[in-house]
Chain A
Amino acid sequence: MAINPKKHEMPTQAPEVRAHNFNEVALGYPVEIAVDEAKRCLNCKNRPCVAGCPVNIHIPEFISKIKENDFEGAYQIISGSSSLPAVCGRVCPQETQCESKCTLGIKFEPVGIGRLERFVADWHNAHATEAPAVPEQNGHKVAIVGSGPSGLTCAGDLAKKGYKVTVYEALHTAGGVLVYGIPEFRLPKAIVAKEVETLKALGVDVEPNVVIGKTLTVDELFEMGYEAVFIGSGAGLPNFMGIPGESLKGVYSANEFLTRSNLMKAYRDDPETPIMKGGKVAVVGGGNVAMDAARTALRLGAEHVYIVYRRSMDELPARREEVEHAMEEGIDFRLLNNPVEILGYQNPDDPRDPKNGFVTGMRCIKMELGEPDAKGRRRPIPIPGSEFTLDVDTVIIAIGTSPNPLIKSTTKGLEVNSHGGIIVNEDGLTSREAVYAGGDAVTGAATVISAMGAGKVAAKAIDEYLMRSSNT
C-alpha cells in the first residue's frame, strides 16, 4: 500500500463559526483516521522523533499500539514519559520538535504525532474507568512550587517513583499557565482539570492559595520535612513598551486580559469579573500569547482585531498553525509596524467626563528590516515620517514577561541571572542544595513542553539526589 504523502487533516470548527464561540477549535481525529494516520509511521530503526521530544515519549511504540487498535496500550506507553498527554497533544509545537525529525518527513509530510498523542489521551480520558494504582511509597517528601506544566510534570514523575509530593499553587485553581493563560478554545479547562485529577489519584497533594515566598518560604518547606523543593513558579510581571499612554484605561497586558477571560471566566455572558468586550482591538506582539489574546478578543465580540508586529511574517514567533487559524478567523495582521504612543480621550471642557482616560487609538510607525542582529534576526528599523494612527478602543501588550520576583526575594542563597531567571545547572539544581527549578522561572517565557522537559529532568535529579543521600 502506498503511503499517503500528506498527514490527515485535523477536523476543526469552521472559522466563521468558531470566531464567535469559546469551544475548542480542533476537534480531534476520529478512530478510523487515527488508525490510518498511525499506519503512515514507518517504525524506522533510528527513531529520530524520540530525540526530538523534550520528554522523550516512546513515539513509534505508542503509534504501533494505535495501529493494533490498542488505544489504552498506547496511552500507557505515553504516560510512562509524560504526565500531561492530553495537554501536550494540543499545545506542543510538534512541527519544530518530534515531527520535524520524522523520517517520513524527508520525502513527505511527517506523521501527525501530536494529533495521534491527543487522540490517545482523549480516548483514555473518555474510556478509562480504573484509577491508576498509587505507587508504593518510599517515605520521602518533595514539595513543588507552582502547578503549571513544569511543576505537574515533576510531581507526576516523582509520585510514580513513590515520593510523597505536595504541589503548592498561588492561585485558586491548579494548572498555572494552562488555566490562566491558554484559552479554552485551544485547551479546554476540563482537560487540564482531568490531568490534575489523574495526578491526585497517584497520591499527589495539591494545595491552592499558598504563595511560596509569602505564605510559606522555601526554608520553611524544609523545616516541614520536605527533603527537596522544585520551583516552577512560572513567568512573572508582564513587560510593557515604555511608550506614552500605556496606563490608559483599555490597555492590558496579555497576562491580565487572558487571566480575566480564562481563569476568571469573564468570557461568560454574566461574569463576576469584568473585561472590555467589543470595539476595535490591537494586540502588540507576534508570539503564541499574542495570537491567544487576539483570538480571545475576537470571541469576546470585537468588531476588528489587529496584530501589530514590528517584524515580518517570516520572523513571527508564533506557531504557524496558530497564525493560520487566526488569519482564517479574520485577525488583521499589521506587520512591520511598531507602536510609538497610545492615545486617550480627554474632554477639554469636562474633567469628570466618564469617557476621559479611555483609549481612542494607537500611533504606529512603519518599519523595514535591516541587517541581522546577534541572534540572526533581521533588525527592524523605523521609516522616518511614516507614522499613522490605528483607530482602536483596546490595546493588549503581548511582548513577553520576566520571571516571577516573589521567591528570589525571600529565598537566601538562590542565585538569579540579570533577567531575574533562577540559575540552574544541567540537572535543574539551583545554587541552593536540594532546591531545583525549571520552566519559565528559569528561562523566561518559553513553551509548555520545554517547561515539562525541565520538570522531568529535575524529577530524575531529585530522585538520584535523595536516593544517594538516604543510602549514605
Chain B
Amino acid sequence: MYRIVTKTPLNPTVTQMEIEAPLVARKAKPGQFIILRVNADGERIPLTVAGTDPDRGTVKIIFQIVGATTEKLNHMQQGEYLQDFVGPLGVATHTEGIKKVCIVGGGVGCAIAMPVAQEFHRLGAEVTSIIGFRSKDLLILEDEFRACSDRIEVMTDDGSYGRHGNVTVPLKEMLEAGEQFDLIITIGPLIMMKFVVLTAKPFGVPVTVSMNPIMIDGTGMCGGCRLTLHRDGKNITKFACVDGPDFNGYEVDFDEAMSRGRMYADFERHAYTEACNLFRKEA
C-alpha cells in the first residue's frame, strides 16, 4: 500500500499528490511514468511522474479528473493509501547534447512537461517554455515554469490570462524570427501535439512528443498501447510502455492515436457518471 503524503488542488479539475513509494522515487527520471490502482479491483491507469524526492521517498503525480478512476483518486485524502503504485516505467526523456530546447505544454500536459523543463535547466540548457490553457482558472505550475525557463510564454485559448491564442502562435513567431532550437518537446492533448509538429515542420526542427495511450500492464505484455510510426515509407508498430512514451513527432500517426484513444468513450462516460453519482450519494 502506498501512502498519500500530500494532496494539493492545483485548479478545480487538476490535483497534485505526493505518494510514498521509495523505490520508485529513487529511480524515476523525467519523462517516465507510473501505473496505479486506487483500490482493489480498480482500473490500472498510467500517470507521468511530475517529480520525485528520493530523500523523503516520495513521487509527485498530477492528474486531471477525466473519468471514474481519476474521480475516485481525487476523493482519496492525505494519509490514506493507494492499493498499487508501480514504476518507473517507460524510457526517460533523452537530454544528451541538447543546448537549446523549447518545451511546449498544454493543459495538464504541463505537469509532465515541467520536470522535463527543470531537468534541461539543471543540465544548463537554454529553456524556452510555451504553456497553454483553455482559460485562466485552469492555469497550473506557472511559477515552477518561470523558475526553470530562460523565456516563457503563457497562452490561454480565451485570452483570460497571458496571451490570447494557442501554443503554436508564439512557437511559429519564434521559428520565423530565426530561433534555432536543437529540439522541441511537446506534451499535451494529441491534437495540440499534432499541430506543434505541423508548425515546426517547415523549419526542420526535431520534435519529440509524449504519448499517453490506453495501457494496462505497462511492462510490454498486453500490446494495448501500440501506435504506428511512419518511417522510410513503412508502417512500424511501437509500444508506448516500453519503447516510449517519447517518440519522434514526425513519425507518429496522430489520427490513429486519437481514434484509438476514444475506443472506450461510451464506457468511460458511463463509468464517470456512475462514480460521480456514488460520491454525491455519500456526500
Binding site for B on A (CB under 8 A): 170-172, 180, 208-211, 214-216, 234-238, 240, 246-247, 249-250, 252-253, 255-256, 259-260, 263-265, 272-274, 354, 356-357, 404-406
Check if A215 sits within 8 Å of B87, measured CB to CB: yes
Q: A249-B263, A404-B220 are in contact. Are A237 and B239 (CB under 8 A)?
A: yes
Q: How far is the CB of B20 from chain A (nearest CB, A)?
A: 13
CB contact between A249 and one of B43, B86, B259 (< 8 Å): that residue: B259
Q: A256-B223, A259-B221, A274-B268 are in contact. Are A357 and B87 (CB under 8 A)?
A: no
- B: number of interface residues (CB 8 Å): 43
Q: A172-B86, A253-B223, A256-B216 are in contact. Are A356 and B259 (CB under 8 A)?
A: yes
**Chain A interface helix/strand/loop/mixed:** loop
Q: How far is the CB of A245 from chain B (nearest CB, A)?
A: 11
Check if B242 sits within 8 Å of A405, measured CB to CB: yes
Q: How far is the CB of A276 from chain B (nearest CB, A)?
A: 8
Within 8 A of A (CB), among B238-258: 239, 242, 253, 256
Q: Which residues of the partner chain B approach A235 to less than 8 Å between Cβ atoms?
A: 221
Q: Which residues of the partner chain A approach B69 to less than 8 Å between Cβ atoms?
A: 272
Contacts A214-B27, A214-B89 aside, 11 further interface pairs with beta carbons under 8 A come to: A172-B86, A214-B219, A216-B23, A237-B220, A237-B239, A249-B263, A260-B216, A272-B42, A273-B43, A354-B266, A405-B242
Q: Which residues of the partner chain B approach A357 to less than 8 Å between Cβ atoms?
A: 259-260, 262
Q: A215-B87, A273-B43 are in contact. Are A255 and B223 (CB under 8 A)?
A: yes
Interchain Cβ contacts under 8 Å between A and B, 28 examples: A170-B86, A170-B217, A170-B219, A172-B37, A172-B83, A209-B85, A211-B89, A215-B88, A216-B23, A236-B221, A237-B223, A237-B242, A240-B223, A247-B228, A247-B253, A249-B259, A249-B260, A249-B263, A255-B221, A263-B216, A264-B216, A272-B41, A272-B69, A273-B44, A356-B259, A357-B262, A405-B220, A406-B220
Check if A256 sits within 8 Å of B224, measured CB to CB: yes
User: How many angstroms between the C-alpha atoms of A259 and B259 in the bound complex?
Assistant: 22
The 8 closest A-B pairs by CB, nearest first: A357-B259, A253-B223, A209-B86, A274-B267, A256-B222, A238-B223, A274-B264, A172-B84
Check if B222 sits within 8 Å of A259, measured CB to CB: yes
Q: Which residues of the partner chain B approach A172 to less than 8 Å between Cβ atoms?
A: 37, 44, 83-84, 86
Task: Identify which of B237, B265, B266 gathers the most chain A CB atoms within 10 Å of its CB.
Answer: B237
Q: How far is the CB of A206 from chain B (nearest CB, A)?
A: 14
User: How many angstroms between the C-alpha atoms of A264 and B23 in the bound complex?
Assistant: 25
Q: How far is the CB of B163 from chain A (nearest CB, A)?
A: 29
Check if A259 sits within 8 Å of B27, measured CB to CB: no
Check if A215 sits within 8 Å of B217, measured CB to CB: no
Q: Which residues of the partner chain A approach B86 to less than 8 Å between Cβ atoms?
A: 170, 172, 209-211, 215
Task: Please give me the residue from chain B that is nearest to A169 by CB atom.
Answer: B86
B24 at the interface (CB under 8 A from A): yes
CB contact between A247 and one of B222, B260, B262 (< 8 Å): that residue: B260
Q: Which residues of the partner chain B approach A238 to less than 8 Å between Cβ atoms?
A: 222-223
Q: Which residues of the partner chain A approach B44 to less than 8 Å between Cβ atoms?
A: 172, 264, 273
Check if A215 sits within 8 Å of B27, measured CB to CB: yes
User: How many angstroms between the C-alpha atoms of A406 and B242 in the bound complex?
Assistant: 7
CB contact between B88 and one of A214, A234, A252 (< 8 Å): that residue: A214
Check if A272 sits within 8 Å of B271, measured CB to CB: yes
User: How many angstroms between the C-alpha atoms of A256 and B44 in the bound complex?
Assistant: 13
Check if B41 sits within 8 Å of A211, measured CB to CB: no
User: How many angstroms between the C-alpha atoms of A468 and B219 in the bound complex?
Assistant: 36
Check if A215 sits within 8 Å of B83, measured CB to CB: no
User: How many angstroms between the C-alpha atoms of A170 and B271 in the bound complex?
Assistant: 27
CB contact between A253 and one of B41, B222, B262, B271 (< 8 Å): that residue: B222
B68 at the interface (CB under 8 A from A): yes
Task: Please give me the residue from chain A that is nearest to B239 by CB atom.
Answer: A237
Task: Please give me the residue from chain B that is nearest to A258 by CB atom.
Answer: B222
Task: Please give me the residue from chain B that is nearest to A171 by CB atom.
Answer: B217
B60 at the interface (CB under 8 A from A): no
User: How many angstroms between the C-alpha atoms of A356 and B27 in the bound complex?
Assistant: 41
Q: Which residues of the partner chain A approach B216 to less than 8 Å between Cβ atoms?
A: 256, 259-260, 263-264, 273
Q: Which residues of the partner chain A approach B239 to less than 8 Å between Cβ atoms?
A: 237
User: How many angstroms between the C-alpha atoms of A265 and B86 in the bound complex?
Assistant: 20
Q: How far is the CB of B92 from chain A (nearest CB, A)?
A: 11
Check if B41 sits within 8 Å of A240, measured CB to CB: no
B121 at the interface (CB under 8 A from A): no
Question: How does the 8 Å CB contact mask read for B49-81 relative to A, with 1 for contact and 0 for none?
Answer: 000000000000000000011000000000000
Check if B223 sits within 8 Å of A208, measured CB to CB: no
Q: Which residues of the partner chain A approach B256 to less than 8 Å between Cβ atoms?
A: 247
Question: How does the 8 Å CB contact mask read for B85-97 relative to A, with 1 for contact and 0 for none?
Answer: 1111100000000
User: How many angstroms between the C-alpha atoms of A263 and B228 in the bound complex?
Assistant: 27
Q: How far is the CB of A259 from chain B (nearest CB, A)?
A: 5
Check if A272 sits within 8 Å of B259, measured CB to CB: no
Q: Which residues of the partner chain B approach A250 to less than 8 Å between Cβ atoms?
A: 263
Q: How far is the CB of B57 from chain A (nearest CB, A)?
A: 13
User: How many angstroms between the C-alpha atoms of A210 and B83 in the bound complex?
Assistant: 14
CB contact between B84 and one of A208, A211, A247, A406 (< 8 Å): that residue: A208
Check if A214 sits within 8 Å of B220, measured CB to CB: no
User: How many angstroms between the C-alpha atoms of A268 and B268 in the bound complex?
Assistant: 16
Q: How far is the CB of A151 from chain B (nearest CB, A)?
A: 15
Q: Which residues of the partner chain A approach B253 to less than 8 Å between Cβ atoms?
A: 247
Q: Which residues of the partner chain B approach A259 to less than 8 Å between Cβ atoms?
A: 216-217, 221-222
